Amino acid sequence: MQDAGKRSGLVAGDVNGFLGLAVDNMSVLALLSAVLIGGYGIPADIVFGRMFPGTAIGVLVGDLVYTWLAVRLARRTGRSDVTAMPFGLDTPSTIGMALLVLGPAFAKFRAAGLDPTAAGLETWYLGMAATTTMGVLKTILAFAGRTVRRLVPQAGLLGSLAGIALMLIGFLPLVEVLQFPIVGFLTLGLVLYALVAHGRIPGRVPGVLFAVIVGTIVYYALTHLGLAGMASKAPALPTLRLAWPRFDAGIFHGFAGIADYLPLILPFALLTVVGGVNNTESASVAGDDYDVRDILLAEAAATLLAGLCGGVAQTTPYIGHPAYKQMGARAGYTLLTGVFIGLGGLLGYLSNLIELIPIVVLAPVLVFLSLSITTQAFSAVPLRHAPAVALSFFPSIARLVTLELGNPNFVPAERFARLLTLADHGLPVLAVIVALGNGFIITATIWAAFVVEMIEKRLRAAAVYLLAGAVLSAFGIIHSARADGSAYLYWHLAGAERIIATQFSAAYLVLAAALLALSLQRGAKTAG
């Protein structure tokens, strides 16, 4: 048996692992800040000085615990090749939080008359409350991770995630890419060359890092020359932004308004729990047999601590443990990543680095991620379940259309309100699109799940999912009849809102009844 010091020390592979994992986390933080600051106008001091420190602390704590779990496993097994589980900020839910929770909330606070600073603080409080809530939910779910995975068909979980990926994490950043097509397309091509085509990179530099460096250099070179009308402000000089994670009593303001966002928060938390189970199994196949409950509880605790300290994004075990093991990483790369990201959030050098990297250079990473998640959704499920995955995309499409049409820069608010009530027959088209997009993650999961159950001839199980849809739509958890997507009590509705809620809820009930009737046929397979 080799000594513990040798097993626990840094090795050459930890440097490569650190570069890859640190770039992944920095990319998520950069995209978060780009959406909040550049997209919605939230003051940079609030994003960098209040949101970043707590968010980074979540990464620090989680990576330290995962490092300790790897060292413990190495000592218990007497092996020197144990690789820590990769850990960091969850990309889909972080971008989802920015686009679907934090950004729209800031716009709502501004519309209510708050100045940018006050609206930004209220948005921060909401983000803290949302992240804390996800931490609590994940702590509870950590004790039932395998049960959750067993009850919800994989097509439902992966399909709903793929819909978000393709429409919101992929398409919207693609627009950013093509706003500066020379730089954006170059960077996108290099990302695809490195990560999809697995092309050779000079100096064996991590593919994402190589693409970001090349894209950034070309961006500043072209903007300096003014080619094709490109122009940019000079990169900010490095400054020390000393900040500290803080518990602010304003978080209770956030909890007061959290109910309207639970249809988004719960699926985000659920997906990281299921992902944690899958990633733990992947590590086990690669030779590192971690306890799934330890992995899930550690990431839940990191998310909970991040929220209480001011963070606005949840953490998760990353996909790719076998890849890090293959590059020779052990326990040291998560230690290095946690310290680098954690101190970066406190000392401010992360924000300096992020300000230097233009969004057009980072957006291609999200486009690749959306392709990867979408591909996985189809490849990881049986081919016969592919229609269920495809069907689950439609609610995300509706959400994308709603986001764009709901932007007053495109459609004036008065015009948008009138379109919600115009109809020659049936429900108004825009009202249907809005309702389909409200609660879209849960809707996508239910739709894919009931189709999978039908494909497997489990008609009663399919009816149960539909009955759940009927209840959820009656309370606006899905298919909210309100333009802002808020939930409600059915008996408090009136007029057009009550009609829409009744129609959608009844639709689920009628189909559930039809499937139950079909299950009564002689020889029909109705149970799993």
79 by Cβ neighbours in 10 Å (0-12 / 13-18 / 19+) ranks as middle
* Same domain flag for 202 and 262: yes
Structural domain total, the chain? 2
Q: Confidence class of residue 2 from pLDDT cuts 50, 70 and 90?
A: very low
Average pLDDT, the chain: 83
Out of 7-16, 93-102, 319-328, 464-473, the most confident range is 464-473
Q: What angle do CA 200, 85, 195 make, to 5 degrees?
A: 20
Q: What global pTM score does this model have?
A: 0.72
The answer to whether position 525 is within a domain reads no
The answer to whether 430 touches 419, Cβ cutoff 8 Å, is yes
Phi, psi of 316 (to 5 degrees): -165, 155
The answer to whether position 337 is within a domain reads yes
Which pLDDT score is estimated for 243?
A: 57
* Same domain flag for 82 and 201: yes
**Two tokens, residue 458:** 């489990």
Picking from 485, 106, 492, 488, the residue whose alpha carbon sits closest to that of residue 261 is 485
The answer to whether position 327 is within a domain reads yes
Q: What angle do CA 261, 264, 266 make, to 5 degrees?
A: 100
Which pLDDT score is estimated for 421?
A: 76
Segments forming the whole domain that contains residue 424: 383-519
Query: Can you tell me the mean pLDDT for 384-411?
Result: 85
Last residue of a domain, one of 361, 379, 397: 379
* Same domain flag for 475 and 361: no
**Two tokens, residue 11:** 């090795």
The answer to whether position 82 is within a domain reads yes
* Same domain flag for 259 and 119: yes
Q: Which of 222-226, 253-257, 303-307, 445-449 has the lowest mean pLDDT?
A: 222-226
Q: For 46-82, how does the pLDDT look when each residue is reduced to its tens digit (9 = 90+)?
A: 999 889 999 999 999 999 999 999 999 999 988 888 9
* Same domain flag for 370 and 404: no
**Two tokens, residue 349:** 């050098």
The answer to whether 39 touches 117, Cβ cutoff 8 Å, is no
The answer to whether position 527 is within a domain reads no
The answer to whether position 302 is within a domain reads yes
* Same domain flag for 160 and 204: yes
Last residue of a domain, one of 316, 351, 379: 379
* Same domain flag for 464 and 326: no
Last residue of a domain, one of 344, 379, 414: 379
* Same domain flag for 418 and 457: yes
* Same domain flag for 341 and 436: no
Picking from 134, 384, 408, 153, the residue whose alpha carbon sits closest to that of residue 273 is 134
The answer to whether position 526 is within a domain reads no
Out of 91-95, 233-237, 363-367, 455-459, the most confident range is 455-459
Q: For 294-314, how does the pLDDT look when each residue is reduced to its tens digit (9 = 90+)?
A: 999 999 999 999 999 999 999
